[in-house]
């Protein structure tokens, strides 16, 4: 809950967003699954700061209206990942033997009503998108006195960039990239059709269903997604002329300019897919700086570089596609539906089957290693803190989070350090 920005990972800090707990995205690392009896003991779930006696968390007082027979129907297995508010496990349906992924969210950590609403919204979103070939299949939501369980399809094919880097003989083509991008655009188009904005499109939020070469790509995380009211304009194109999002959420490398300007809609998802496509075709980020503040300024002011190697060898059709997705004005940018009709990305289109320059995979490998190193560093820092230290940090966080948005903006940090009142801001992200 309370998304903050991180260049390569989503870090949570407060109580405004993603009540489901922003569980780490890797559902399963591969086929190296051990039997449950061989698994190491699960880490203890570190709770929020102890509340005064008699004060019960909102989640504990809420009946979500879900089925209440989890333990009789499912057996918990391997731990896949964890976030601030819960854990994700492999589980087995006792009757059929089907293996599923279960996100277990602690009701005791849903202190405020907004946390409860975040969980309910995520379940509504998964239900709305149920049946789409590129969205992780939602089985059901179950609850008991202590937890809410979101039961989903288990994806065992690994993360997107890892899959590309594991290709035999380093054979990676524009067509491979186009197939991936097309599936992402289908997810965005489906979301927008339902009046939804994903708000955190990035490679880590997509997993392959299986290790088969023709496995479909699945969107697995909708913790930041939200509904937005659609209206039709006179030219009959679907526009979102009513509600706009005024908060800044997402992941720094992929955030759209209008998100930073606090007036965003479904167009921001298309921008993020444009960033992903740029990375898939050259292995580098289109906007980069050593600080997240610097990244945001790059996004707002500069254009991507299409002159540096390997871009001269990339097809004109591919470059045209990326440029039309990375238009800073969201009114001019292609919609997800329009992008799906572009010659480069459409099925049977013009994407080349000639292997891309070897530098693409080398660049991508460095990008992945950097991202993982930063994630490991953040985890290492977090693991050294005990419950009392975490409670103190939460108190400090709440003092700094002056506008109670659930995340700390750069201006809030600056004003606190100078002992001045909050003047309002550029963006919410972590340091």
Distances (CA, A) of 345 to 14, 26, 172, 333, 420: 39, 27, 16, 16, 51
pLDDT at residue number 365 = 85
Q: Which residues are catalytic?
A: 200
Q: What are the per-10-residue average pLDDT scores of the chain (431 residues)? A: 37 34 35 37 40 72 95 96 82 97 94 91 96 97 97 94 76 94 98 95 94 94 84 43 81 94 96 97 92 92 95 96 98 97 95 90 78 56 60 66 62 56 36 32
pLDDT at residue number 301 = 95
List the binding residues for ATP.
103
pLDDT at residue number 386 = 61
Tell me the β-bridge partners of 207.
Answer: 159, 218
pLDDT at residue number 338 = 97
Torsion 336-341-343-346 (CA) sign: positive
CA–CA distance, 193 with 403 (Å, rounded to integer): 32
What the block records as the tokens of 144 is 């008991």
The span from the first CA to the last CA of the chain, in angstroms, equals 17
What the block records as the tokens of 140 is 């059901």
pLDDT at residue number 203 = 93
Peptide bond into 10 cis (omega under 30): no
Residues 6+ apart with CB under 8 A from 321: 277, 339, 342, 344, 345
Backbone torsions φ then ψ of 231, nearest 5 degrees: -140, 160
pLDDT at residue number 46 = 36
CA–CA distance, 345 with 403 (Å, rounded to integer): 42
CA–CA distance, 374 with 7 (Å, rounded to integer): 9
CA–CA distance, 351 with 372 (Å, rounded to integer): 30
Count of all residues that appear for the chain in the document: 431
C-alpha dihedral, 284 to 288 to 292 to 293, nearest 10°: -160
pLDDT at residue number 24 = 32
Contact between 350 and 306 (Cβ < 8 Å) = no
pLDDT at residue number 186 = 98
Domains and CATH numbers, the chain: 15-153 (3.30.200.20), 160-373 (1.10.510.10)
List the binding residues.
103
pLDDT at residue number 43 = 40
What the block records as the tokens of 84 is 């601030």
């Amino acid at each position: 809950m309370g998304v903050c920005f991180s260049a390569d990972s989503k870090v949570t800090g407060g109580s405004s967003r993603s009540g489901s707990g922003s569980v780490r995205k890797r559902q399963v690392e591969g086929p190296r699954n051990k039997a449950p009896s061989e698994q190491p003991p699960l880490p203890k779930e570190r709770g929020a700061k102890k509340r005064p006696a008699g004060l019960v968390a909102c989640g504990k007082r809420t009946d979500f209206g879900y089925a209440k027979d989890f333990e009789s129907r499912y057996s918990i297995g391997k731990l896949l990942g964890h976030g601030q508010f819960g854990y994700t496990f492999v589980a087995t349906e006792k009757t059929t033997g089907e293996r599923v992924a279960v996100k277990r969210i602690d009701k005791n950590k849903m202190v405020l009503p907004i946390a409860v609403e975040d969980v309910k919204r995520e379940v509504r979103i998964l239900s709305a998108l149920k049946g789409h070939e590129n969205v992780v299949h939602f089985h059901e939501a179950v609850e008991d006195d202590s937890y809410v369980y979101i039961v989903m399809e288990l994806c065992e094919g690994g993360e997107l960039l890892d899959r590309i880097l594991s290709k035999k003989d380093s054979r990676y083509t524009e067509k491979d990239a186009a197939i991936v991008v097309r599936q992402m655009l289908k997810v965005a188009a489906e979301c927008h059709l339902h009046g939804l904005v994903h708000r955190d499109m990035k490679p880590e939020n997509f997993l392959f269903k299986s290790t088969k070469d023709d496995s479909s790509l699945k969107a697995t995380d909708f913790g930041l997604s939200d509904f937005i009211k659609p209206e039709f304009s006179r030219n009959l194109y679907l526009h979102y002329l009513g509600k706009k999002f005024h908060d800044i959420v997402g992941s720094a490398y992929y955030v759209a300019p209008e998100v930073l300007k606090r007036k965003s809609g479904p167009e921001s998802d298309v921008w993020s897919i444009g960033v992903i496509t740029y990375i898939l075709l050259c292995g580098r980020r289109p906007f980069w700086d050593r600080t997240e503040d610097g990244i945001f300024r790059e996004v707002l002011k500069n254009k991507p570089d299409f002159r540096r190697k390997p871009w001269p060898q990339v097809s004109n059709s591919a470059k045209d596609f990326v440029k039309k997705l990375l238009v800073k004005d969201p009114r001019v940018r292609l919609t997800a539906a329009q992008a799906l009709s572009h010659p480069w990305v459409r099925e049977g289109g013009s994407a080349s089957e000639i292997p891309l320059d070897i530098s693409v995979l080398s660049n991508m490998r460095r990008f992945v290693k950097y991202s993982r190193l930063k994630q490991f560093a953040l985890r290492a820092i977090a693991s050294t803190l005990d419950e009392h230290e975490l409670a103190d940090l939460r108190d400090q966080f709440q003092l700094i989070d002056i506008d109670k948005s659930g995340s700390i903006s750069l201006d809030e940090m600056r004003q606190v350090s100078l002992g001045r009142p909050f003047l309002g801001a550029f963006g919410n992200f972590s340091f």
